[in-house]
Amino acid sequence: MMIRVLAILVALMAPWSSAVAESRQATCQTDSLTFTLIPKKNIDEQLREYRPLISLIREGTGLPVDMVRASSYESVIDGVVSGAAEIAVLGPAAYLIAYRRNPGIEAFASLAVEGGRFTPAGSFYHSILIVRNEGVFTEPAALRGARIALSDPSSTSGTLIPKASFPQVVGVPFDRFFGAQVFAGGHDKALDALLEKKVDAAFVSSARADEYLKRGRITEDSLRVLWTSPALPYDPFVFSSDLCPGLRHTITRLMTSPSDRLRAFLEGQHASGINRVDHGAYEVLEDFL
């Protein structure tokens, strides 16, 4: 009888022991983790939205996770390149800029977003040129000399892709076509500048425009799209080069396996899941940098 009881106890403790062993292996002598992300909108709001994901990583690894409030794309690039941040969310172009500076960093996952008016469902989005629907601009050529809002200098859809691709549409260099260029500091700020009539047009991420629509900040008739870029791979989650393989494996598994914490995070992101990716998914953008 005693032997049978002991066998049952051993069987019950096996999963727990395995989890403890995996957690210890994953720590790799790391006492804590630092997480940061590019400021696409109000950074405090972004950090609140990421709390379920941070809780998932903290509980799954047994390590405290510090969330760093980033002021710019460049500060996030610096953080992941230097190893000051072990996990980061970068834009596609920002990731490639960081990778050139430190090829040891790793893009490992990306959101699969729900479809919207401006963005198809999946792990791709677009750079879009938008104007107010009630305005006089109905085609790209009409914007010559207009005031344009850009996002951050390192933003894929808010700056780099427009500057590389849009001149082919109008046949004029970007800096000569528009009358004034304003770096708003983020996609939401660029959208706000357009809606508040501080600029005539804006280049923004299609996903951010869909977010404004879902939140009721705009209606279906508020904006007119004058240009859409080819599909762009969605923002990667990135590991620093200093993070050990054990922790990389554990965090990737946590972020790509169904759980209540992950579901709460995805709902806040209007996403259907997190897909695994690698560096190859972003190489198509090399020629635009």
Domains (range + CATH), the chain: 28-116+233-288 (3.40.190.10), 127-230 (3.40.190.10)
Predicted local distance difference test score (pLDDT) of residue 2: 37
CA proximity to 32, closest of 250, 262, 252, 247:
247
Predicted local distance difference test score (pLDDT) of residue 182: 96
DSSP character for 237? E
DSSP character for 286? G
Question: In order along the chain (289 residues), what is the average pLDDT of each group of 10 residues?
Answer: 38 42 55 94 90 97 95 95 97 96 98 93 95 95 97 94 96 96 94 97 96 94 96 96 96 97 95 96 88
**Six-digit token pair at 21?**
């062993």
Q: What is the pLDDT of residues 32-56, one digit of tens each?
A: 999 999 998 888 899 999 999 999 9
**Six-digit token pair at 67?**
């969330």
Q: What beta strand segments (E) does 191-282 contain?
A: 201-205, 223-228, 232-233, 236-239, 271-276
Which residue is associated with the tokens 């051993």? 10
User: 255: Cβ–Cβ under 8 A, 6 or more apart, which residues?
Assistant: 53, 56, 57, 109, 237, 262, 274
Q: What is the pLDDT of residues 217-273, one digit of tens each?
A: 999 999 999 999 999 999 999 999 999 999 999 999 999 999 999 999 999 999 999
Query: Phi/psi of residue 27, each to 5°?
Result: -65, -35
